[in-house]
Amino acid sequence: MRLRFFLRRLVMLIATLLVSSLVIFSALYIAPGNPIATLSGGRSLPPESVKILEARYHLNEPFLAQYGLWLRNALHGDFGISITLRENVSTLIVSRVGTTAALVLYASVLILVIGIGLGLLSGLKHGPADTSVLVLTAVSAAIPAFVAAIVLMLLFAVKLGWFPTLGNGQGVLGTIRYLTLPAFALAISSLAIVARVTRAAVREEFRREHVQTAISRGIPYRQMVFRHVLRNAAIPITTISGITVASLIAVAAVVERAFGLNGLGAYLVAAAASKDFAVVQGISLVLVTAFVFVNVLVDVLYAALDPRVSLGARAQ
Amino acid sequence: MNQRRAAWSVAVVAFSIAMVASACGRSVDNNGNGTPSAGGSGTEATSLTTTTPAGTKPVDKITWAVYRETNSLDPIYAFDYPENTVISLLCESLLRQAPDGSIGDGLASLDDSDPTKLVFTLKPGVTFWDGSPVTADDVVYSLERNTDAKLGGFYGAVFSRVASIQATGNDEVTVNLKEPDEWLVGELSSMPGIVLEKAYVEKQGSDYGTPSGGAMCTGPYKLQSWKPGDVLATVRNDSYWDSSVHPLVGEIDFKGTPDEATFTSGMQAGDIDGSYTFALSTLDQLQSSSNVTVTLGAGWNTDAFIVSSFKGPLGDVRVRQALSMALDRQGIIDTVYKGAALLPHSLSSPGTWGYGKDVFAKAYDELPPLTQNLDEAKKLIQQAGAEGQTITLGMSSELNNIAVEAGAYRSAAEAIGLKANLKSVSAANYINFFIDAKARAGVDGFFTTNYGDYADPAALIATLVLPDGSQNYSGYNNPQVVSLMNAARGEADPDKRAQDVADAQKLMMQDMPWIPNAFPENELVTSSDLSGAVGSFAYMFAPWADDLGGTG
């Protein structure tokens, strides 16, 4: 059963990658602009040079031939070369993937720990604690990542000088120091949403009949919370956390740019602007794969949390 | 012919994605003379700074910002600010542009006593970073790479008058010309004249100048490492061939910083130590920061409106003159440049007077400054019978500065009885106005910031007045201007050459094939404990950190 589940997910992943690569390639192909123009920076190149450059990057071939060529090479592990940097796409991606992974991981930890923590606090306690969390999350949910980036940078980097304004650090501690502000900028609004959903889920469970019955029977509070409330509330919390974390991969672009990090997201934006086909394709594949993996992880968690859900069961 | 680039370019593309409104707290009516070394922003052309006081203390390592990541270290593909900034630090040309734009010896000295021959003699003891001597073979190879169609380099056309390039001795190279060509001399003090090590380039093949292929040049700094997207690190070349030069900064790391807000915070927090910019939206903020020094120096670029079609109302020279007269240039200078730009008299900036300075200065002063005169402009429109006609301006609302200028042009047009349509395209597609006739089809003109590869007004003008000029989109052709420009190209005497160019310029100011908006000043932004960087636009073409060091 499990094997079948993973096999099916693998097939779905491959299908998703194929479809998305075709869609992205077509979109980029149709989009106005010309990669050779990016190369020449607006200068009028001699026609002979243009021909050579177009042939070098196969830009003179029809759409399907270009896509077919890219796909064939990709299946052999060759993701092409970047037009702007004249460098292997795999090399360029590998040098950046760590930054994005670390940033997303750091932000996810913040979201899960602080978001769920605040949500539980607010859901379980009434009074000032609940109100403060509500106010706090209402404000932070409304702060987009790029605004958070500027505010955090001005306050903690320029005014207080606690953290660097931009760049990547060296080593584990250095990386954490350099990524702290970006991770908070990335996490701040998602964190609030996770906290809100967690609070709602906990409250919802409290109102359920079996919980009310348990309370009336005098089952100890702690036991009731862990066994009946949290266990059931875990399903919606996992769902929202999964979606939030998966979406971080895309939002990271904004934060990477603001903090001058050499991540995949910022690079994807730059590459799309200069119509650097191979780079856009390569990064998209990485991002789609990561997205699918996060979703698989969430599904596995469902099964672990709720015995009624079995891996590979078809949706009802 | 020789082609100029469009400086709006990728920076602005990135900028539009940034979504970041840079916080500009202060009013823009001050003229930005906040720092002692500021060159001032009056209209006095001659007061422009070209150097800053030499540094006195050694500095281990600094971080230098460029507006985006460097794409290539191969000079034949260097066409924009980030590539030029890095390559000019690492590599050297046969001739060298001084901060004031004058051209002198570089790796070689030039004998041009025969007008159809440029004979270069390499300086004794000139070596590459790896210690191997620079030979005549390296020079010939490097120059010929420019015209090798297989490489698709960007400077092939500047060699159009070259018949052959030959090694005529161990340390001597002769460039034989079909006709005398003073412009080639200028180009050989810029990217096309850079000398690379033949053996190294041949070994790297198409990887030369990429992160994996590296570079091999002669300059005072050498490439240490290049992590794409992160840092391009350079380190002082301690075996630099010119023993009179002792740079004080040990390492210079280049970092692409597309976001102006990030750059500004980085400067204020001390994470970035310097950068060359222009039209920086946060200039006021940086000028008022105590730990940042802003030096306004001679710029060689021109902010202009390109009249790309003479088929519409702008085909009438009176309408072009009227539009120019109606324009509020001071408004553009205050808003876009925060005061760090000159009010033009002509199309090429005083910064570009690399020779014949007195001749250029006299001619420039004789031309009136382009101040606003609505009454006169309205009269011209009446004479032309152009009232109520519509002009279409190509612009991009995503590019802040261009949007401001398009707004200024629309106000000018409406103030004199014309109508103006704005045709807005995405930031990424703005480039198409320059390269795609189809994109230009619907517009009467669009905006640019343009510059030449060396300090000569002709370097920019030639691209738009010569019938085959790369930026002559309208088909402008004034035989008198063309013949003056061709005379200048072959004229060896600097003052006579300057006179030809100045005369052509005077005629052009009547014809207005392009309408100049402002002369941006070069903005050198450094940490206040650094000094000594070249202050003019010459940083784009020659080593700029020889005197850079700590102060105090």
**Predicted confidence (pLDDT) per residue in B233-264, tens digit:** 999 999 999 999 999 999 999 998 888 888 99
Which pLDDT tens digit goes with each residue over B324-351?
A: 999 999 999 999 999 999 999 999 999 9
Residue B302 has a pLDDT of 93
Distance in angstroms (rounded) separating the CA atoms of residues B398 and B424: 9
Mutation test of the interface with chain A: which of B2, B3, B301, B433, choosing the one with the most A Cβ atoms within 10 A? B3
User: What percent of chain A is helix, strand and coil (3-state, nearest 5)?
Assistant: 80, 0, 20
Q: Find the mean pLDDT for residues A159-173.
A: 81
- Read off the DSSP letter of residue B75: G
Find the mean pLDDT for residues A258-277: 84
Distance from the Cα of A194 to chain B's closest Cα (Å) equals: 26
Lowest-confidence pick of A17-21, A227-231, A268-272, B297-301: A227-231
**pLDDT exceeds cutoff 90 at B400:** no
Whether B80 sits inside 8 A of A87 (CB atoms) is: no
Contacts of B543 (CB under 8 A, 6+ apart): B88, B89, B92, B219, B220, B221
CA angle B84, B89, B95 (to 5 degrees): 85
Complete DSSP assignment for B340-371: -EEPPSSSS-GGG--S-HHHHHHHHHHSPP--
Q: Which of B206, B228, B262 sits opposite A260 (nearest CB)?
A: B262
Chain A contact set for B72 (CB, 8 A): 85-86
Q: By percentage, how much of chain B surpasses pLDDT 90?
A: 75
Q: Provide the pLDDT for residue B32.
A: 34
Name residue, tokens 């060296």.
A170
* Percentage of residues of chain A with pLDDT beyond 70: 92
Return the axis-axis angle of helices B400-415 and B374-384, rounded to nearest 10°: 70
**B507-530 residue pLDDT tens:** 999 999 999 999 999 999 999 999
**Residue pair B405/B332 in contact by the 8 Å Cβ criterion:** yes
Closest CA to B321 of B379, B366, B362: B379
Mean pLDDT of B446-472: 90
**Among the ranges given (A244-258, B353-367, B422-436), the one the predictor scored with the smallest mean pLDDT:** B422-436
Asked if the model's pLDDT at residue A42 lies above 80, the reply is no
Residue in chain B closest to A87 (alpha carbons) equals: B210
- State whether B265 and A158 contact (CB < 8 Å): yes
Residue B35, classified by CB atoms within 10 Å of its CB into exposed (0-12), middle (13-18) or buried (19+), is: middle
CB of B255 closer than 8 Å to CB of B65? yes
* A197, pLDDT greater than 80: yes
Q: Is B156 on the interface with A (CB under 8 A)?
A: yes
Return the number of other C-beta atoms located less than 10 Å from residue B50's C-beta: 18
- A9 SS3 class: helix
Q: Can you tell me the ipTM of this complex?
A: 0.78
Q: What is the pLDDT of residue A311?
A: 65
Q: Do B431 and A38 touch (CB under 8 A)?
A: yes
**Mean of all residue pLDDT scores within chain A:** 83
- Identify the bridge partners of residue B62 per DSSP, sorted by sequence position: B252
Parallel/antiparallel/unpaired status of strands B249-256 and B59-66: parallel
Q: Which residue has the higher pLDDT, A95 or B299?
A: B299
B72 interfacial to chain A (CB closer than 8 Å):
yes
pLDDT band at A313 (very low <50, low <70, confident <90, very high): low
Length of chain B counted residue by residue: 552
Closest of A255, A234, A238 to residue A102, by C-alpha: A255
Contact at 8 Å (CB) between B430 and B399?
Answer: yes
Q: pLDDT tens for residues B73-92?
A: 999 988 888 899 999 999 99
